[in-house]
């Protein structure tokens, strides 16, 4: 991880006139009636982040990094390896918080990182560290682990007195609804960043927020307990399981449940919920069905119709994932600079009764 010291004060010169009034008392040696003319961006101005980014981007390009054509906050360091381009470094930013990884045996990578540290006054930290709320650690063998233990354990249940718990159909008070929104928002962020197992619970609770009742508040507390119980959950990128960038493959798993979600206007058990997982693997999955995989994206959301048949339900679930799947395909192609395929497959529908509702799933193509 890299952190730029006073990043906004290092930004490019601004292309507008910005005059500051002096504080009272003024700095030593400055007349009381003086004003300051800003030459570069400062904290609190609308163009501060933009000017910092433009300088960082320009510096990276000067050092040989290439800006991703799809993810503008991602830069890639490539070297020519025979007839192909080989990826030796990645660099992504979230304002002034920077995450970088590369091959320390490659002089081009180490030299450019050293130059960045000097030019932009960047401090470097190696794992373990925290980046945008996520804990990142690295084992001795190079295995990388990403966790959000502290974030999960920081979630707190909403206090519901015993007499109130019996009023399951009673609408929430203004105070209860405020806490409901706040806690579920935190669950949503956790589920999007790492804990995909909470995606369904968050989605269902979010759908009920406008007309939530006490029973929904109790369900919210149940999801909080689920977050606590698996707070040690990690994403693990095992060392020695690198994918062959010469033949990257995007896989998509789509699943949907028929009429398993209530709708406040139509009635109970009339809406259908769909979920998907998108990841990448390499050509070995196509050849023998086995390959390391990297999960990139997941989601659980309501299908915007009352689906009464399996085929329309499958088509709608597949359509929800098509755009993000194609996006991941092109991101993989962009970063690898090589061929990237997609594959389709399917498995037979599971038991027609699972949890009281029909379910179906399959691997969908994204050609």
pLDDT (tens digit, 9 = 90+) per residue, 296-349?
889 888 776 544 444 555 555 556 566 666 666 666 656 655 444 444 444 444
Q: Assess whether 247 and 225 both reside in one domain.
A: no
Q: How confident is the model at residue 70 (pLDDT cuts 50, 70, 90)?
A: confident
The answer as to whether 133 is a domain residue is no
> At which of 218, 234, 250 does a domain end?
234
> At which of 188, 216, 234 does a domain end?
234
Q: Assess whether 163 and 222 both reside in one domain.
A: yes
Tell me the percentage of the chain whose pLDDT exceeds 90.
26
Q: Calculate Rg over the CA atoms of the chain.
A: 25
Question: Whole-number mean pLDDT of the chain?
Answer: 78
How many whole angstroms separate alpha carbon 84 and alpha carbon 65? 17
**Mean pLDDT in residue range 176-188:** 95
Which tokens hold the place of 43? 């904290």
Closest among 131, 76, 123 to 103, alpha carbons compared: 76
Query: Is residue 138 scored above 50 in pLDDT?
Result: yes
The answer as to whether 137 is a domain residue is no
Q: Assess whether 102 and 183 both reside in one domain.
A: no
Query: Is residue 284 scored above 50 in pLDDT?
Result: yes
How many whole angstroms separate alpha carbon 325 and alpha carbon 342? 9
Count: domains in the chain: 3
> At which of 193, 214, 234 does a domain end?
234
In a 3-state reduction of DSSP, which class is residue 42?
A: coil
Q: Assess whether 224 and 312 both reside in one domain.
A: no
Domain that holds residue 331: 242-363
Q: How confident is the model at residue 269 (pLDDT cuts 50, 70, 90)?
A: low
Query: Is residue 105 scored above 70 in pLDDT?
Result: yes
pLDDT at res. 147: 95
Query: Is residue 350 scored above 60 in pLDDT?
Result: no
Q: How confident is the model at residue 160 (pLDDT cuts 50, 70, 90)?
A: very high
Q: Assess whether 326 and 221 both reside in one domain.
A: no
Tell me the percentage of the chain whose pLDDT exceeds 70.
77
Q: Assess whether 101 and 186 both reside in one domain.
A: no
Half-sphere exposure (Cβ direction) of 139: Cα atoms closer than 13 Å:
11
Angle, helices 214-229 vs 174-193, to 10°: value is 30
Q: Assess whether 253 and 226 both reside in one domain.
A: no
pLDDT at res. 201: 92
pLDDT at res. 336: 55
The answer as to whether 141 is a domain residue is no
**Mean pLDDT in residue range 37-62:** 85
The answer as to whether 265 is a domain residue is yes
The answer as to whether 19 is a domain residue is yes
Q: Assess whether 333 and 310 both reside in one domain.
A: yes
The answer as to whether 140 is a domain residue is no
The answer as to whether 212 is a domain residue is yes
Q: Assess whether 188 and 294 both reside in one domain.
A: no
Which tokens hold the place of 8? 């906004």
The answer as to whether 164 is a domain residue is yes
Q: Assess whether 65 and 180 both reside in one domain.
A: no
Strands (E), the chain: 2-4, 19-21, 35-37, 66-67, 74-81, 84-94, 97-102, 122-124, 129-131, 134-138, 144-147, 234-237, 248-263, 267-281, 294-303, 340-342, 359-363
Q: How confident is the model at residue 39 (pLDDT cuts 50, 70, 90)?
A: confident
Query: Is residue 359 scored above 70 in pLDDT?
Result: no
Q: Assess whether 258 and 339 both reside in one domain.
A: yes
Per the model's pLDDT, the better-predicted residue between 4 and 269 turns out to be 4
Picking from 21-35, 111-125, 243-257, which range would have the lowest pLDDT averaged per residue? 243-257
Q: Assess whether 121 and 13 both reside in one domain.
A: yes
Alpha-carbon distance values, 111 to 3, 53, 102, 116 (Å): 18, 21, 11, 9
The predicted model scores a pTM of 0.73
């Amino acid at each position: 991880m890299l952190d730029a010291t006073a990043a906004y004060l290092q930004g490019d010169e601004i292309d507008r006139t910005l005059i500051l009034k002096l504080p009272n008392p003024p700095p030593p040696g400055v007349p009381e009636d003086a004003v300051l003319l800003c030459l570069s961006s400062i904290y609190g101005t609308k163009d501060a982040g933009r000017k910092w980014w433009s300088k960082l981007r320009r510096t990276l390009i000067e050092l040989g990094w290439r800006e991703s054509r799809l993810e503008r906050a991602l830069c890639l360091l490539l070297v020519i390896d025979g007839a192909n381009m080989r990826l030796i470094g990645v660099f992504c930013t979230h304002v002034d918080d920077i995450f970088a990884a590369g091959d320390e045996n490659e002089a081009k990578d180490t030299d450019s990182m050293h130059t960045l540290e000097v030019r932009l006054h960047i401090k470097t930290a190696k794992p373990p560290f925290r980046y945008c709320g996520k804990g990142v650690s690295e084992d001795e063998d190079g295995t990388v682990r990403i966790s959000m233990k502290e974030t999960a354990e920081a979630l707190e249940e909403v206090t519901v007195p015993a007499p109130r718990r019996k009023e399951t159909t009673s609408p929430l008070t203004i105070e209860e609804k405020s806490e409901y929104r706040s806690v579920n928002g935190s669950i949503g962020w956790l589920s999007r960043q790492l804990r995909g197992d909470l995606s369904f619970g968050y989605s269902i609770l979010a759908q009920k927020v406008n007309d939530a009742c006490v029973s929904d508040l109790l369900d919210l507390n149940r999801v909080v307990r689920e977050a606590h119980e698996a707070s040690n959950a990690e994403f693990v990128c095992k060392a020695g399981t690198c994918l062959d960038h010469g033949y990257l493959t995007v896989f998509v798993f789509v699943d949907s449940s028929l009429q398993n979600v209530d709708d406040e206007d139509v009635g109970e058990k009339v809406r259908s919920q769909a979920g998907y997982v998108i990841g990448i693997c390499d050509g070995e999955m196509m050849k023998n069905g086995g390959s390391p995989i990297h999960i990139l994206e997941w989601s659980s959301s309501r299908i915007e119709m009352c689906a009464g048949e399996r085929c329309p339900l499958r088509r709608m679930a597949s359509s929800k994932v098509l755009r993000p799947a194609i996006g991941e395909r092109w991101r993989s192609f962009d970063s690898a600079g090589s061929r990237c395929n997609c594959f389709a497959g399917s498995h037979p529908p599971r038991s027609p009764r699972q949890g009281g509702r029909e379910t179906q799933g399959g691997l969908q193509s994204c050609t």
